[in-house]
Structure 1
């Protein structure tokens, strides 16, 4: 694999920066390829050379933004680490970022070209972060070794996504704590 030309890397960075700004200002509807091109001063032809569609660009930009905004906690035990991670994701999702996430998720349902970018740049990175927390907990003997990191991720974070998409419950710290407590301690007495 040949390394990208520095000019090409600069163009990609400009596009991702412009896309992040547009997503922050007006969500996915504001991040059109025309607007991204104008803001980044990168031609549409160059943009389409690197991404198949605006959903792909937005997914990559949003994934990088979320990775930078949500650090991995290291409080020394599984309950505190996982509870804090659920709190951080909930808080991130409770504001304008949650709206962008919901817009991207909905767009990926109808945009098969953008879906792989959403999985690669957003979902895979988030799942890898939780897998790291889960592995730490496994290494310390704090969690059931028969439960995979994927299952733990779905149980802990799936309810946040459901609440974000349906709006039936607020994404507050109290609600995040209740969800993580139920997931980590179980539903049965």
Structure 2
């Protein structure tokens, strides 16, 4: 992309992040994104198929900026801390936006790849860094794939967020991380 295009892309994402923060996915219409960013709707549609795709990319950027990776030198501490950080992110106002995006992308085949690429893939790659560190130090079972570890550690947070059956509190995040890292069998 040329510098002007990069600037427009970044302006659109920044405007979308602000709109998501203010009113969730319903507030992030293409008209509102265009007005807030100063980028034409035609340019927005040149880069994204629809508002959900823009929102998915913007939300991925928001979460990456909000949740840095811990590096204590200990797998249990790092993975538990990451589960706590993600749980706190979802427990706050960002959880509603995540749920809105997830629901919207389930029904939107054009936006779903943006959600996977700019949100899920980025989050999974970040946690893979933690897992790879733990594998290289011999702290976790190398036979367990990073994808399985991520699903076990973070899937329960998403289920709780979407179902509302249990809280996303720090003690609950610790209990989930401990169960995932230790196992369920006596």
Scaled by the length of structure 2, the TM-score of the pair is 0.99
Q: How far did residue 22 of structure 1 move?
A: 0.2
Q: What's the counterpart of residue 162 of structure 1?
A: 159
Q: What's the counterpart of residue 138 of structure 2?
A: 141
Tell me the number of residue pairs that the alignment of Structure 1 and Structure 2 aligns.
Answer: 186
Cα offsets for 1:132-182 (capped at 9, x unmatched) = 111101001011111000000000000000000001111100000000000
Q: What's the counterpart of residue 86 of structure 1?
A: 83
Matched residue of 2:162: which SS? helix
Structure 1 residue 69 and structure 2 residue 69: aligned? no
Structure 1 residue 38 and structure 2 residue 38: aligned? no
Q: How far did residue 33 of structure 1 move?
A: 0.5
Q: What's the counterpart of residue 102 of structure 2?
A: 105
Matched residue of 1:168: which SS? coil
Question: Structure 2 CA distance, aligned partners of 1:79 and 1:110?
Answer: 37
Q: How far did residue 70 of structure 1 move?
A: 0.4
Structure 1 residue 173 and structure 2 residue 149: aligned? no
- 4+ residue runs of structure 1 moved beyond 3 angstroms? none
| Counterpart selection for 1:28 from 5, 22, 25 | 25
Q: Which runs of 5+ in 2 are unaligned?
A: none
Scaled by the length of structure 1, the TM-score of the pair is 0.97
Cα offsets for 1:110-131 (capped at 9, x unmatched) = 1110000000110001101111
Q: What's the counterpart of residue 56 of structure 1?
A: 53
Structure 1 residue 185 and structure 2 residue 173: aligned? no
Q: Which runs of 5+ in 1 are unaligned?
A: none
Q: How far did residue 61 of structure 1 move?
A: 0.5
Structure 1 residue 47 and structure 2 residue 10: aligned? no
